[in-house]
């Protein structure tokens, strides 16, 4: 097949391995195997260009902008969108697997790209034709960076209580309020902003720069240090009436729908984070000696290897399953949440065990404990584990006869 994602397919890939492909042969949502060459090529790019610079991003030695652009240039964001808007028109499971590869190579870029793609999905699903024609191609090619602005200082999980307002005056909405913890803030060309109108929470496209759009200082974070996170301050921020996405008062529904899809990507990203931590633990276990033998010969270390491997593959199958349900057109909110809750908690366990296998070096090596620090965000962001467990239970109780 022909595709935009190209490059050095001859590289031997640790991160799109024969084993991963074997898994796909057995569990093959939407002919996933048809795209194994494309994914291997993308994986080769990640391994060569992104994996090596990831510690520098974590240390703040380089900016995310160059490597993120290189990732966009590979076509990653275009994977799940129709060709008429410049996309590749491929199944969502292919995009999710690409996000797994990116999560293995660098979690900060994966976070930035995954949120950016959530905005593209929002405009694609809920925007009008004019908005799609104007914005989609730029976003999915990565020429324009997008940001999703829902959370506020006093409302996160309970986003429906947002205090930011949008008032229609002379053909423009005037937005006032602030948004907290916003990824890509200050860098993005377009913000998908949620604000309350007379009819309730609504969704707007806000193009930067705008005199009413300002940013708080960059927030200090435990992990995901390569990505930018700031408060977004909206002060008499005028947007044209045409920039309302969908219907007034439906913004909370749109945000939920966007987040269901994004949760599959977050699950995939966490499988990627767990995979790199596991790979490092395995290599270290084979090389480190204690009591006259390799520590990989100790049964208690072998137990960790077995558990880590089993959990990673379980997370992988869950996000692929959720992708398959999404592609089938049904309600996938429970499956997406199951994948996210399991994969995010699983990657924390795997990263923690990887530190344990490394002993003192695990605690003192940035390049190892950053995987745990990166993973730590994702039981919180895009739906906390607590709130998603409530969602899963609610859906399953409603589904049962
Ligand atoms: C680095 C980073 C990047 C982010 N990027 C973005 C972004 O790009 N765009 C965006 O809009 N937001 C973003 N967020 C915000 C993120 O999505 C929220 O932090 C998250 O939704 C949780 O909201 P909160 O922080 O207000 O916590 P709260 O909702 O206040 O929750 C606090 C605690 O209470 C628990 N809790 C709340 N309700 C219930 C309940 N009903 N039952 C049981 N427990 C409950 C929660 O699970 C949690 O443990 C980001 C956050 C971070 C830290």
Interval 354-369: pLDDT, tens: 999 999 999 999 999 9
The secondary structure of 16-80 as a DSSP string is S-HHHHHHHHHS-GGGGGGGHHHHHHHHHHIIIIIGGGHHHHHTTSS-SHHHHHHHHHTTGGGTT
Instruction: Give the domain range for residue 259.
Output: 252-399
pLDDT at 328: 87
Same domain, 46 and 129: yes
Same domain, 228 and 266: no
pLDDT at 25: 64
Query: How far, in Å, from the CA of 3 to the mean position of ligand 1?
Result: 38
CB 152 within 8 A of CB 179: yes
The domain that holds 228 is classified in CATH as 2.40.110.10
- Tens-place pLDDT, residues 25-82: 666 655 666 788 888 889 999 999 999 999 999 999 999 999 999 999 999 999 999 9
Mean pLDDT score across all residues of the chain: 93
Same domain, 374 and 330: yes
In a domain, 337, yes or no: yes
Same domain, 282 and 387: yes
Percent of the chain at pLDDT exceeding 70:
92
Same domain, 274 and 392: yes
Residue 244's SS3 state is: strand
Same domain, 284 and 386: yes
The pLDDT of residue 380 is above 80: yes
Last residue of one domain, picked from the residues 114, 141, 168: 141
Provide the domain count of the chain: 3
Nearest atom (ligand 1) to Cα of 382: 17
Q: What is the mean pLDDT of residues 134-163?
A: 97
In a domain, 212, yes or no: yes
Same domain, 113 and 163: no
pLDDT at 15: 52
In a domain, 1, yes or no: no
Same domain, 228 and 272: no
The pLDDT of residue 9 is above 50: no
Q: What is the mean pLDDT of residues 368-391?
A: 98
Instruction: Tell me the torsion sign for CA atoms 302, 304, 306, 309.
Output: negative
CB 309 within 8 A of CB 274: no
Same domain, 378 and 275: yes
The pLDDT of residue 2 is above 50: no
Nearest atom (ligand 1) to Cα of 149: 11
pLDDT at 40: 87
Kindly report the protein residue whose alpha carbon is nearest to atom 22 of ligand 1. 156
The pLDDT of residue 317 is above 60: yes
Same domain, 306 and 390: yes
Per-residue pLDDT band for 4 (boundaries 50, 70, 90) equals very low
CB 373 within 8 A of CB 366: no
Task: Please list every protein residue whose CB sits less than 6 Å from any atom of ligand 1.
Answer: 115, 148-151, 156-157, 181-183, 221, 224, 229, 377, 380-382, 384, 386-387, 390
Q: Which of 182, 381, 385 to mutate to test the pocket of ligand 1 (most atoms within 8 A of CB)?
A: 381
Q: What is the mean pLDDT of residues 154-161?
A: 96
d(CA 179, CA 164): 8
Q: Is the pTM of this model over 0.85?
A: yes
pLDDT at 330: 87
Same domain, 329 and 306: yes
- Tens-place pLDDT, residues 68-77: 999 999 999 9
Same domain, 313 and 395: yes
pLDDT at 12: 35
pLDDT at 1: 30
Query: How far, in Å, from the CA of 340 to the mean position of ligand 1?
Result: 14
Query: How far, in Å, from the CA of 255 to the mean position of ligand 1?
Result: 14
Last residue of one domain, picked from the residues 194, 224, 249: 249
- 236's enclosing H/E stretch is strand 229-240
d(CA 332, CA 345): 20
Q: Which of 146, 195, 225, 387 to mutate to test the pocket of ligand 1 (most atoms within 8 A of CB)?
A: 387
pLDDT at 29: 58
- Tens-place pLDDT, residues 170-226: 999 999 999 999 999 999 999 999 999 999 999 999 999 999 999 999 999 999 999
pLDDT at 322: 94
């Amino acid at each position: 097949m022909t595709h935009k994602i190209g490059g050095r397919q001859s590289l031997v890939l640790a991160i799109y391995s024969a084993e991963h492909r074997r898994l796909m042969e057995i569990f093959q949502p939407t002919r996933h195997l048809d795209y194994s060459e494309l994914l291997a090529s993308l994986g080769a790019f990640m391994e060569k260009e992104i994996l090596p610079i990831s510690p520098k991003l974590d240390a703040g030695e380089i900016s995310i902008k160059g490597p993120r652009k290189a990732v966009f240039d590979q076509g990653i964001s275009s994977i799940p969108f129709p060709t008429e808007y410049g996309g590749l028109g491929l199944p969502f499971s292919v995009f999710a697997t690409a996000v797994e590869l990116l999560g293995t190579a660098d979690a900060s870029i994966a976070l930035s790209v995954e949120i950016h793609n959530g905005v593209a999905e929002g405009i694609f699903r809920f925007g009008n034709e004019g908005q799609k024609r104007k914005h989609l191609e730029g976003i999915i090619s990565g020429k324009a960076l997008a940001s999703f602005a829902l959370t506020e200082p006093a409302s996160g999980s309970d986003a429906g209580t947002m205090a930011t307002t949008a008032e229609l005056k002379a053909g423009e909405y005037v937005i006032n309020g602030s948004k907290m913890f916003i990824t890509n803030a200050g860098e993005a060309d377009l913000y998908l902003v949620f604000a309350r109108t007379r009819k309730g929470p609504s969704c707007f496209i806000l193009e930067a720069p705008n005199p009413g759009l300002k940013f708080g200082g960059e927030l200090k974070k435990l992990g995901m240090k390569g990505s930018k996170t700031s408060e977004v301050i909206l002060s008499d921020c005028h947007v044209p009436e045409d920039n309302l996405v969908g219907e007034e008062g439906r913004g909370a529904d749109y945000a939920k729908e966007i987040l269901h899809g994004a949760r599959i990507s977050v699950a995939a990203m966490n499988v990627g984070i767990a995979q790199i931590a596991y790979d490092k633990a395995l290599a270290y276990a084979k090389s480190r000696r204690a009591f006259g033998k390799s520590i990989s010969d100790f049964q208690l270390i072998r137990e960790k290897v077995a558990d880590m491997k089993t959990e990673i593959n379980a997370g992988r199958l869950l996000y692929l399953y959720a992708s398959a349900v999404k592609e089938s057109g049904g309600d996938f909110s429970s499956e997406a949440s199951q994948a996210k809750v399991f994969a995010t908690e699983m990657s924390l366990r795997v990263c923690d065990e990887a530190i344990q296998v490394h002993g003192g070096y695990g605690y003192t090596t940035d390049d190892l404990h950053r995987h745990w620090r990166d993973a730590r965000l994702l039981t919180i962001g895009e739906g906390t584990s607590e709130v998603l467990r409530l969602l899963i239970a609610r859906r399953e109780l409603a589904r049962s006869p």
